[in-house]
């Protein structure tokens, strides 16, 4: 269900935004508007739908409108045009009292520049939201101390923001937002001043928090790896206009334009994409057949491997023609389940990087098995090749905009010895084509001939 709806929102900064809006509606772009009228187009005709319990990431270059967009959600900014609905309520129609209540209870925000109170201690900064909610001192200090500890600042409660480093101040801002228990968290570059280790821990913690409490989190970042790691959906803004909204896999595999393509160009796809993206239905599924029937089905199908499932759909193992013939010839009349070889399996939420050695080392497509034992598909080595090595291609019909700051680049193939990096030689099924190594950050390419 959609919790936050942004409908055709435009924000123009300047002295007469309405007259500038007429020009924008007539087709004037950001650069021209600024040059001709001195108005800045913050965001332009943005529509979005953010689901309850989603981590929704907003990305874009500096100045693309990320902070402007997120600030509309709690009405720190009013739009020049358009509508914002939260839980079906039009936030623009909230009166002062309702707005205060809404900001106190529904949404809390971590600001890009921390926004801490300089004359309050760390403890009182973190407890601030609770204080405004009327929570008593003992309780709010207890809660605040828990969050201070969670963000790694135990012992700093009595210090003042100016006594902390930038990254520490950012963590105070984060603890303050988390302490209020609001169900929507707005986080503007909340992790950008953290060092990599703490940052990675905070990312994990955020995902855990969301899993546990089903908070809705709108998260702005410059860092694509961060976006791909935590985002259920990612929106990419360019010059105030939405280029694309999609799942990490959508964004990686089908970038809508050259700007998005450039963002994702160097992503380590093997680490980001999960097995469910590449799993396919098996060609031959065998259940309660006799061995003879299973052998007949196998011969008719022309498949080398059949996958045996129980009557309840649980994965049992795989069989080959040889194994079936051997079992039929043997004394003892074994059942199909007894003949099936359980072998290696993978799970749908594993990264491709994790399963790659197994998929390449196994002489048949590796089964994907759910936590309840269900048989959810198989992974063909070729399918891995397709997603890891496919060139990032923008639809042919989409022309690069003349003022696009970045273009998807075609690179000359370079020799690759990176296969030494734990990566097996290409599978014959990968065919003869120019490939891009999705495993290696950077631009390694190779022409593989089958
Ligand atoms: N208060 C303001 N007055 C005038 N122009 C503004 C104001 N706030 C933002 N802008 C303009 O709106 C555009 C978008 O700014 P915004 O701060 O939303 O970008 P951003 O994507 O958050 O960038 P960054 O990654 O650098 O934080 C910019 O061109 C900026 O100059
Ligand atoms: Mg910003």
In the chain, where the domains are located: 2-266, 277-384
Question: 316: exposed, middle or buried (C-beta count within 10 Å: 0-12, 13-18, 19+)?
Answer: buried
Q: Which ligand approaches the C-alpha of residue 222 most closely?
A: 1
Output the CA 373–ligand 2 centroid distance in Å: 45
Take atom 29 of ligand 1 and give the residue whose Cα is closest.
63
- DSSP letters spanning 296-349: HHHHHHT-SEEEEE-TTSBEEEEEEHHHHHHHHHSTT---HHHH-B----B-TT
- If you count DSSP H runs as helices and E runs as strands, how many of each does the chain have, helices first? 19, 17
Ligand 1 pocket, 68 CB below 6 A?
Answer: yes
Q: Which atom of ligand 1 sits closest to the CA of residue 222?
A: 25
Q: Span 2-266: which CATH code?
A: 3.40.50.300
Q: Ligand 1 atom closest to Cα of 14?
A: 4
**pLDDT of 392:** 55
- In terms of Cβ atoms closer than 10 Å to its own Cβ (0-12, 13-18, 19+), residue 320 is middle
Q: How far is CA 283 from the centre of its chain?
A: 31
> What pLDDT score was predicted for residue 445?
30
Compute φ and ψ for 443, nearest 5 degrees: -130, 35
Q: Average the pLDDT over 308-315 and give the result.
A: 91
- Closest residue by Cα to atom 27, ligand 1, is 62
Q: CA 210 → CA 53, 184, 193, 195, 225, distances in Å?
A: 7, 10, 22, 22, 19
Q: Which of 16, 44, 68 to mutate to test the pocket of ligand 1 (most atoms within 8 A of CB)?
A: 68
Q: In the structure encoding, which two tokens stand for residue 209, read together?
A: 């928090």
User: What pLDDT does residue 391 have?
Assistant: 62
Whether residue 274 is predicted with pLDDT greater than 50 in this model: the reply is yes
For the chain, the residue count is: 450
Which is more confident, 12 or 129? 12
Write down the pLDDT at residue 316.
95
Instruction: Give the pLDDT band (50/70/90) at residue 13.
Output: very high
Cα–Cα dist 382/449, whole Å: 14
Instruction: Using alpha carbons, list the distances in angstroms from residue 66 to 49, 54, 63, 73, 236.
Output: 15, 18, 8, 12, 9
Using the predicted structure, report yes or no on whether residue 244 has a pLDDT greater than 70: yes
Residue range 231-244: average pLDDT? 95
Q: Has residue 125 got a pLDDT over 50?
A: yes
What is the residue whose two structure tokens read 């809660």? Answer: 143
Q: Is the CB of 63 under 6 A from ligand 1?
A: yes
Cβ count near 117 (within 10 Å): 13
* Of 375, 216, 374, the residue nearest 281 (C-alpha): 375
Question: Is the confidence at residue 122, as pLDDT, over 90?
Answer: yes
**pLDDT-derived band at 235, boundaries 50, 70, 90:** very high
Give me the pLDDT at residue 255, please: 92
Mean pLDDT of the chain: 83
- For residue 183, what are its two tokens? 């169900």
Q: How many other CB atoms sit within 10 Å of the CB of residue 119?
A: 10
Q: Is 121 in the pocket of ligand 1 (CB under 6 A)?
A: no
pLDDT at 332: 82
Question: What is the average pLDDT across 14-37?
Answer: 95
Q: pTM for the full model?
A: 0.75
Provide the 10 A C-beta neighbour count for residue 227: 25
Instruction: Determine the 3-state secondary structure of 123 from DSSP.
Output: helix
What is the per-residue pLDDT for 208?
83
77-86, 164-173, 353-362: least confidently modelled range: 164-173
Look at residue 201 in the predicted model and tell me its pLDDT: 83
Residues above pLDDT 70, as percent of the chain: 86
Q: Please tell me the predicted confidence (pLDDT) of residue 413.
A: 32
Which residue from 72, 104, 50, 70 is spatially nearest to 189, judged by alpha carbons?
70
Most confident of 25-34, 98-107, 325-334: 25-34
Tokens representing 227 are 């976006």
What was the pLDDT predicted at 441? 35
Confidence of residue 106 (pLDDT cuts 50, 70, 90): confident
Q: Do domains 2-266 and 277-384 have the same CATH topology?
A: no
Nearest CA to ligand 1 atom 30: 63
Q: What kind and span of H or E run contains 387?
A: helix 381-389
**Ligand 2 geometric centre to CA of 65 (Å):** 7
* Token digits of residue 311: 């009557």
> Is the Cβ–Cβ distance between 392 and 255 less than 8 Å?
yes
Distance CA 415, CA 392 (A): 19
Single out the residue of 123, 160, 129 nearest to residue 145, CA to CA: 123
Q: Tell me the per-residue pLDDT of 361-389, one tens digit each, with 9 for 90 and over.
A: 999 999 999 999 999 999 998 888 877 77
Q: What pLDDT shows up at residue 104?
A: 80
Q: Is the CB of 255 under 6 A from ligand 1?
A: no
CATH class assigned to 277-384: alpha beta
């Amino acid at each position: 269900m959609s919790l936050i709806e942004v409908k055709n929102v435009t924000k123009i900064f300047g002295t007469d935004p309405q007259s500038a809006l007429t020009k924008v509606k007539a087709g004037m772009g950001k650069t021209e508007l600024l040059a001709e009228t001195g108005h800045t187009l913050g965001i332009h005709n943005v529509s979005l739908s953010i689901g309850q319990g989603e981590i929704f990431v907003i990305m874009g270059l500096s100045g693309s409108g990320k902070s402007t967009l997120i600030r509309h959600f709690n009405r720190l900014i009013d739009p020049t045009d358009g509508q914002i609905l939260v839980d079906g309520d039009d936030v623009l129609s909230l009166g002062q009292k309702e707005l205060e209540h809404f900001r106190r209870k529904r949404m809390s925000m971590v600001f890009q520049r921390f926004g801490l109170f300089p004359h309050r201690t760390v403890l009182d900064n973190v407890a601030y939201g609770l204080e405004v909610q009327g929570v008593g001192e003992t309780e709010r200090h207890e809660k605040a101390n828990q969050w201070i500890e969670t963000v790694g600042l135990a012992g700093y409660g009595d210090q003042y923001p100016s006594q902390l480093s930038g990254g520490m101040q950012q963590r105070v801002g984060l603890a303050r937002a988390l302490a209020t228990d609001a169900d929507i968290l707005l986080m503007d570059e909340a992790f950008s001043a953290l060092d990599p280790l703490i940052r990675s821990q905070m990312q994990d913690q955020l995902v855990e928090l969301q899993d546990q409490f089903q908070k809705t989190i709108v998260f702005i970042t410059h860092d694509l790896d961060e976006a791909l790691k935590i985002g259920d959906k990612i929106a990419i803004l360019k010059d105030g206009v939405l280029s694309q909204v999609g799942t990490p896999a959508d964004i990686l595999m089908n970038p809508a334009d050259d700007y998005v393509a450039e963002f994702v160009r160097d992503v380590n796809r093997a680490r980001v994409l999960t097995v469910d993206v590449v799993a396919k239905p098996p060609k031959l599924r065998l259940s309660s057949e006799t061995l003879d029937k299973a052998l007949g089905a196998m011969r008719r199908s022309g498949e080398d491997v059949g996958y045996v499932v129980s009557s309840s759909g649980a994965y049992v193992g795989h069989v080959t023609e040889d194994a079936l013939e051997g079992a039929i010839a043997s004394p003892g009349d074994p059942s199909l389940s007894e003949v099936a070889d359980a072998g290696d399996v993978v799970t749908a939420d594993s990264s491709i990087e994790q399963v790659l050695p197994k998929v390449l080392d196994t002489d048949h497509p590796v089964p994907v098995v759910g936590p309840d034992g269900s048989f959810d598909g198989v992974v063909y080595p070729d399918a891995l090749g397709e997603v890891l090595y496919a060139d990032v291609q923008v639809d042919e019909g989409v022309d690069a905009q003349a003022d696009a700051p970045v273009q998807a680049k075609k690179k000359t193939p370079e020799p690759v010895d990176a296969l030494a990096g734990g990566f097996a030689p290409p599978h014959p099924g990968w065919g003869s084509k120019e490939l891009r190594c999705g495993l290696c950050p950077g631009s390694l390419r190779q022409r593989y001939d089958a």
